[in-house]
Structure 1
Amino acid sequence: DKRVRQAVYHAIDIEAIKRSVMRNASWPSGTLLSPYLNGAPNSLNKRLLPYDQAAAKKLLADAGYPNGFNVGMQCPNDRYVYDEAICLAISSMLARVGIKTNLTIEPTARWSVRLNTNDVSFYIVGHAGLPMADSYGLLKDVVHTRTQREGALNAGRYSNPKFDAYLPRIAAEIDAAKRNKLIEEAVALEREDISHVPLHQQPITWAARKGIQLAQAPDNQMRLWLVRAPAK
């Protein structure tokens, strides 16, 4: 029921997560796409629904859940920046509108098996759009209906045939402006349908001794041949 998805969106205070969990080291997002990915429609990169507990409760009541409901929530504790703390915060926020989560927090090795076998109810997931640094890869992996080739991270089983129809067109389009327009239309469609609740873009944080020069790659991988140390 879309009203339940809307209620969940209203219930999550993304700015509070940025302030209290991420220590202001995150960028709240209005879409699933980083604004730095090729083709990302930055005009849509603003929160769709405001944080509003009263609106969340009303939507739940309208959807037939005046007293809320219970749901499982599965999260990793070593995959994303402050992932366990994010899940605890979201669980608390959902409880305030009547959605009680049975929280399971576990290492990525076990959590990823759950994702691959659809053994999740409510979960967090991230995607860097790599290796292409392009919007298409994320949309294909996270939003497209799960098949043998698409939807690898769509463990929530979201399915929208209208959205799916955009992906072959995006893949085949060679005109950049036309391709970006198709991406924008696809994102607008799934965003309005609330396929997921976008939270934020997390930082890549590295530390280096003074004098060390290095190239920080978007895939968070260290290339030692790009590191320069001062001569002794």
Structure 2
Amino acid sequence: MNTTAEPVLPSAGYFTIAVCRNCAAPLHGPHCSQCGQKKAARIGTASLRREIWEKLRVFELDHLQSALRLLAGPGCVAREYVLGVRKRHTHPLKLLLLAIAVLLVVLAQTRYLHSSNVQVSKVMETVRKYAEWSFSLGLAAIWLASLAGFHRSRGYNATEHLVLALYAHFLIILANIANQLPLLLLRSPAWLAGHKQWSGWYMDAVELGIVQLALSQFFLVDLRRHWWRLALAGITFVVAKTLLLYLYALALVKLVLARAAS
């Protein structure tokens, strides 16, 4: 007697049965009451194209709407997210990772981390490999600034301070992307050298402004009474970022020297 089970084939009748093909629960509507999956249908070219478009459209629209809300109110968005408004806003870490990925692509296109000097280019190559870690230094600086200025204000815990830091750092990454965009059009070495020389000065001011705006919105700061908290947070951000970048650069130099010696 042959006990081998018949193979399951994706026939039209297979998909008409009122059962969830994800968890095998009975279906009583267009979605499964157990796992939430939509009633499956056989995949065709048209359905696959439609599903891809729907996924991409929702992804782009969701992230674009979140980014636009953050442009005007990073602290407001962070406070709403912490207080439970989660469906309206994209997870801050997802936004940040997306922004870092875009920035890395833009930096590669503008050749911002390249140099005509061969030895310098080797160092820059190592910097590019660890670029994701360097971008996280700003996040740590914002988090430390938030804790330093407002750790006893309104009862927020350390993780909720981190949510604020993630959203604020996403906006800082967007500012850095915008700062790089002219280099996609103006590719002369002289323009690139001038941009590297001057952008560090005004971008530091832009980043500090974003942090101060996010903190004041998130904690609803009354400047007449608690201006000193905002000032303390700003000083902490500048000092922490400078120190972290110095330590990162020192570790990177040691890594380069160790690789050169090996």
TM-score by length of 1: 0.25
Q: Which has the higher helix share?
A: 2
Q: Which has the higher strand share?
A: 1
TM-score by length of 2: 0.23
